[in-house]
Chain A
Amino acid sequence: MEIIEKIQTNKSIDNQTEIQKICLDKLQSSPLPNPKSEQWRLSNKSKLSNFLDYSVNENNSKFDIPYPKNSQSTIRLIIGENCQIKLIEKTYSIRQLSEDELQKYIKEQISCFNQNENWSDLLNLSLSCKNNILGLKINGSKIPPIEIFSYASGNSLNAKTLIIFLEKNCNVELLQVNLGEDTSSLSQSTFFCLEENSSLNHGVVSYGANKSNLLNSLNVIQQKNSEYNLGSLHFKFNYARFEIRIKQSEGNAKTNIKGMQITKKDEQISTYTKIDFDGPNGFLDQINKSLADDKSHAIFEGSIIVPKIAQKTDASQLSRNLLLSNHAQIDTKPQLEIIADDVKCKHGATISQLNEEELFYMRTRGITLTEASKLQLSSYFQEIISFIPVSKDRWDLLDKLLNEN
């Protein structure tokens, strides 16, 4: 019940938006997710409660983007700051969703929420104040790459919400960066709606500092002939949870996901994905990589749901894991639930360590063990990093992963 009180003490009832009230109401009945449910069974309880320890922060302190833009054409947005956007160019337009549009869309989403599965979204929407909700409607062509930042400042719990509608026939490249300062909690919920023939190359890079926490939830609805590509990377969080829910609402859509999570020290990072095929001819290619070192714990749970209507679905899911320490732990559970018979579905999972023969080979060629391990790791990371769109090179991701502790 503490969490409810915390939210309520932060603001008077009058200041609450209707959405916040609805979500709070839903949370009242069960303030915390059921620890025995499949989605939360492995989640570290004390880390989750630590996530909620900080007081809610609605005012955004000045935030400097760590890397300067190298190209004028990139559009950069920080959730909570410059929220007044209206860009109307010859070939495209990006405009903010009106209050009514936002309300209507969020309410629609909430009505389909499942208390346990969407707990992170409920928490986010009950915390997110008007300023911290960014809603965009994008259409047209030749749209410049977009970068969107969410930032959690120290000693506080921050909630940011992003809603994007991609109208028919538009292609967008979008990099979402979630950053957490030391001892901070960030609740990020993202909702995408991809209309017919649209495509989105989406990158998610989340990294924190010591003791930062993240609840990152991503909800995507894909209409027919849309294509959604996601490259994601999560690291350096004391506790992080990445929930991906994708619905191909009419089938005939393509989804590619390449995700990675890296845990060190006593961190716990988990990825939960649920892909619903609600129409025929759907396509999914998913790979999730984990690396667990020291005393950390990496978790992947993926489910693919193919009901009767989703004939001719082609879905594959692969979970590849590297376990590098005697005290680390990896849990993985790729699952298939299939009713349609004319489908091609497969999944695979492996847990192993660095290939000893390859290491040995490199060492015989005069490369030190540390270097050889780094070489192997970089090829392991590169597959995912190269899938992240928009100026990823500037972020020196590979360097961050290999050289920072």
Chain B
Amino acid sequence: MVNENLVKDVVKEPYKYGFITDIETEKIDKGLNEDIIKLISQKKEEPKFLLDFRLKAFKKWQKMKEPDWAALGYKKIDYQDIIYYSAPKQKEKISSLDEVDPKLLETFDKLGIPLTEQKKLTNVAVDAVFDSVSIATTFREELAEHGVIFCSISEAVKNHGDLIEKYLGTVVPASDNYFAALNSAVFSDGSFVYIPKGVTCPMDLSSYFRINSGDSGQFERTLIIAEESSSVSYLEGCTAPMFDTNTLHAAVVELIALDDASIKYSTVQNWYAGDEEGVGGIFNFVTKRGKCLGKRSKISWSQVETGSAITWKYPSCLLLGEESVGEFYSVALTNNLQQADTGTKMIHIGPKTKSTIVSKGISAGNSKNSYRGLVKMGTKATGSRNYSQCDSMLIGDQASANTFPYIKSQQPNSEIEHEASTCRISEDQLFYLQSRGIEFEEAVSMMVSGFCRDVFNQLPMEFAAEADKLLALKLEGSVG
């Protein structure tokens, strides 16, 4: 008989990114109204079209209701009790990394994110976002040589306003959902990537999001545009300090892939998840969507979700272009009182489109882990295919694993396959591994890692290492 407590101990691991950086910040008053939005826009010196975009979104948001269909229970969010803009105080204009507040650099160093280029370990360009603003973006010049634009969205608004005006809100319109509308009204920063025609981005791009302040929400917005025959791999990481209050994170990510372009978007989400009693933690409400606009374009989402008290996230693909491809690979680990309602939407609109969904959920403690996905074949999606696989692993008899796949087809010449299964760590396998001299803890870790392998194989090298480390962190330490 497996000692359940042992397994539970194995998945417990203190949160090591929970420190707070003591830095002087500039915050605006709590609350949300038109004046606040105008103030944010003014602080960021935005053009009029963007202010209009924000105000329009705000008007829509006011008329919308917070969605309650997800299998999540959380206390009501008071949207007037949140600071919508918080930025570390720094010099007016930063011309090089040396001018960034050393405390900030130190923070990102602690998180294992090399912002100083001398220290670079891997060939990854990083955009670091601290609370509401982007601190620094590395490797800009090298990227610029290839014509790649990689900067914070605020800079992009100033320097590439035409692209922003053309594409912002085209994939996730402001009226898309409650949290997207909120984000459209108050988004403060985020990353902007533009890969010109025919360019394969010479290095992986990465954004690192850090919430530092306990009473401010983070509302970042990411926009990635891959022109014809270009390709890019983008990584995103998130951490936050430990507070006993809940912090709201409502982000929007928009991807656009034109003919023959390919975008790979990988996330390792490790926001603070709250303590064992479920006090504190990030409320993570994220709208991520990619539009495969061009023929033979491809968008691939891979995510490792281990943090957040509440996760509400459905990275989706709109497959418009002929023969476009959408992929979704996800591992979601929930423990203690965490709740995750995550999955994807694959909307097949164009002919001969293909999508693959692989979702692995691991629930431990008293947590709740739901997969919710939609696969839709439109009337014009002839010859399209979808394959979905959702597996859940339960650790302990208090955790719950739910699967809610919505499958809709209006096209007879298409095929949809979906399968889901639930299992637990098999006693036989554990016994076998232990009888071969493998420690209990390592055996559990190996089995979880094996369970998630299909997804880890899809992560870029740098991230695969990080994800493995992250899971290992959650799965080691407390036994022995």
Contacts and interface: CB of A to CB of B under 8 A. Distances in A.
Nearest to A331: B408
A325 B407 contact: no
A35 B312 CA distance: 24
B400 A339 contact: yes
A146 interface: no
Interface string B63-100: 00000000000000000000000000000000000000
A346 B400 contact: no
Contacts of A351: 377, 407, 409, 414-416
A22 interface: no
Given A344-B423, A348-B420, A338 B412 contact: no
A347 B420 contact: yes
B310 interface: no
B449 interface: no
Band of interface residues on B: 20 to 34
Interface string B422-449: 1110000000000000000000000000
B350 to A, nearest CB: 16
B410 interface: yes
Interface string A343-381: 111111111110000000000000000000000000000
B417 interface: yes
Contacts of B416: 349-352
A335 B404 contact: yes
Interface of A is mostly: strand
Nearest to A304: B403
B406 A341 contact: no
A339 B398 contact: yes
Contacts of B408: 329-332
Given A308-B398, A333-B405, A350 B412 contact: no
Interface in A308-353: 308, 311, 321, 323-353
A343 to B, nearest CB: 6
Nearest to A340: B397
Given A341-B424, A352-B416, A329 B410 contact: yes
Contact of B402 (A326, A330, A336): A336
B26 interface: no
A346 B412 contact: no
B3 interface: no
B419 A347 contact: yes
Contact of A336 (B377, B397, B413, B420): B420
Contact of A325 (B394, B400, B401, B412): B412
A338 B402 contact: yes
A312 to B, nearest CB: 11
Nearest to B366: A339
A74 to B, nearest CB: 40
Contacts of A345: 421-422
B336 interface: no
Contacts of B421: 345-346
Contacts of A347: 403, 418-420
Given A338-B394, A353-B413, A332 B423 contact: no
Contact of B406 (A333, A342, A344): A333
Contact of A337 (B377, B400, B409, B412): B400
Nearest to A347: B420
A342 B424 contact: yes
A339 B420 CA distance: 15
A331 to B, nearest CB: 5
Interface string A106-134: 00000000000000000000000000000
A331 B416 CA distance: 11
Interface string B23-60: 00000000000000000000000000000000000000
A311 B397 CA distance: 9
B415 A336 contact: no
B353 interface: no
Contacts of A323: 409-412
Interface in A128-147: none
A146 to B, nearest CB: 37
Contacts of A329: 408-410
Contact of B400 (A311, A326, A335, A338): A338
Given A325-B412, A353-B412, A332 B407 contact: yes
Nearest to B369: A338
B211 to A, nearest CB: 32
Contacts of B404: 333, 335
Contacts of B402: 335-338
Q: Which of B379, B395, B407, B419 has the most CB of A within 10 A?
A: B407
Interface string A26-58: 000000000000000000000000000000000
A353 B413 CA distance: 7
12 contacts: A327-B379, A331-B408, A335-B403, A339-B397, A343-B422, A346-B422, A347-B403, A347-B420, A349-B417, A350-B415, A351-B377, A351-B407
Interface of B: 377, 379, 392, 394-424
A-B pairs, 4 with minimum CB distance: A341-B394, A346-B421, A349-B418, A351-B416
Interface of A: 308, 311, 321, 323-353
Given A323-B409, A338-B400, 8 more contacts: A326-B411, A326-B412, A333-B404, A337-B400, A337-B402, A338-B402, A346-B421, A349-B407
